[in-house]
Amino acid sequence: MGGLAVHGDEDPRRQMLLELLQIALAAVDGRRRTREALSEIVKRSPAPAAERFAAAAVGKAAASMALGAADALCGALERVLIITKDGHVDAEARGLRGVEIIESGHPVPDQRSLEAGARLCAFLEDLDRGVRPLFLVSGGASSLAEALVPGASLEDLRRLNSDAHASALPIAALNARRRALSRLKGGQLAARLAGRHPLALLISDVPGDDPAVIGSGLAGPAPQGTDDMERHVVARLTDALEAVADRAAGLAPVAHSERFSGTAERLAVRFAHELALGSPGLRIWGGESLMELPERPGRGGRNQHLALAAARLIAGHDDLFLLAAGTDGTDGPTGDAGALVDGDTCARIACAGLDVDECLRRANSGVALAAAGDLVSTGPTGTNVGDLVLGLKLPRSETHALPSRVAGAGGA
């Protein structure tokens, strides 16, 4: 996981929210969760020493999950195919035994996505019958690897993704449309591997944590026929939310179990309202917001847009803070995870000569938040369970108690 960076964080309340973000990410770390789950699965195997594995890891957490599989399986992992987003593979993953790495298109698929899909099919077809296929799937897989049905083109696929993002189409509806174009998604790989007893470990970024939806069902159940794939969801958004609540027990945390959805600006109104009217303490939300983009959008993503919209509503309140971030470390097409705003954010933006309303209208929140020093950058995190929003209501006079309220946060 990359180091956490945000500009100008002298206020201990802001520092604490950043530490809680780190705690959330550690709780759903792809390498650790894959290693722990796979170690338990191998222990239960009737002949663990005899099994050989070849792993196909697809998604933004693919490299991290592959490392976790190598940790658990040691020499039993003979080959690894990693298909992931540009810049999401570190040196350790590149040194794995028998590794092949493909960096592909995301969030909009490109020609590399089709090449990656073809390579994935070939990789599985070439496996020795004595090797057990292992799928490691996380969010982003839908765009990163694809094989199209006859008559469909890359332009059809790209148009589907672009139109869906511009119109704020919910992820479940988008994945359903993707499956209609695909020869991989919707359980079709499981059908191809019938009789091989494949194993799939998944990191969920979708409501309900359904393998049929994660990655558009890349490792989902076969639509018909034999399906003997064993599936385990190893990390989910609730794991991150619970970790934050546990570590912030001294801040009277309120963890909202219902996963949020809807447009970023409406959610900003809701979160700011609940934060301002509620009792002092920490509020924790998880889910995924949507944005309708103008014709020529500026710099930013849905979490930055939500944070900036909330900043307008908490302006002038010295006791209110809101952090919105993608757990994968990337917010939309940007290199930032999100933003951490407070009651002075809008004033800092105005001092930089920018207009908050205009930046929101042009989907240019990243420029405004950069000027305020409020962008949060984690780098690739090795996980992807959705978006996390943390709200804090705490007067400055009470900041002296923060170290004891978040027990051990600095060691995350």
CB count in 10 Å sphere of residue 104 = 25
140 with 84: CB under 8 angstroms?
yes
Q: Give the model confidence (pLDDT) of 284-293 as tens digits.
A: 999 999 998 8
Burial of residue 78 (CB within 10 Å: 0-12, 13-18, 19+) is: middle
Q: Fold for 30-235, please state it.
A: Rossmann fold (3.40.50)
Domain boundaries for CATH 3.40.1480.10 within the chain = 5-27+238-404
pLDDT value at residue 47: 64
Q: Which of 195-199, 281-285, 332-336 has maximum average pLDDT?
A: 281-285
Are β-strands 281-287 and 254-255 bridged in parallel, bridged antiparallel, or unpaired? parallel
Mean confidence (pLDDT) of the chain: 91
Do residues 314 and 320 lie in contact, with contact meaning Cβ atoms separated by under 8 Å?
A: yes
Q: What is the CATH number of domain 5-27+238-404?
A: 3.40.1480.10
Segment 28-81, tens digit of pLDDT: 999 999 999 999 999 887 765 568 999 999 999 999 999 999 999 989 999 999
Looking at the chain, the domain(s) classified CATH 3.40.50.10180 span 30-235
**Closest C-alpha among 384, 393, 252 to residue 318:** 393
Mean pLDDT of 352-381: 97
pTM above 0.95, yes or no: no
Tokens of 42: 């191998």
pLDDT at 175 over 80: no
11 vs 101: CA distance, rounded Å: 42
Structure confidence at residue 45 (pLDDT)? 79
Which amino acid is located at 67 in the chain? L
What is the four-CA torsion angle of 160, 161, 165, 170, rounded to 10 degrees?
Answer: 80
Confidence label for 1 from pLDDT (cuts 50, 70 and 90): very low
Per-residue pLDDT at 165? 63
Q: What confidence tens digit (pLDDT) does each residue in 227-274 have?
A: 899 999 999 999 999 999 999 999 999 999 899 999 999 999 999 999
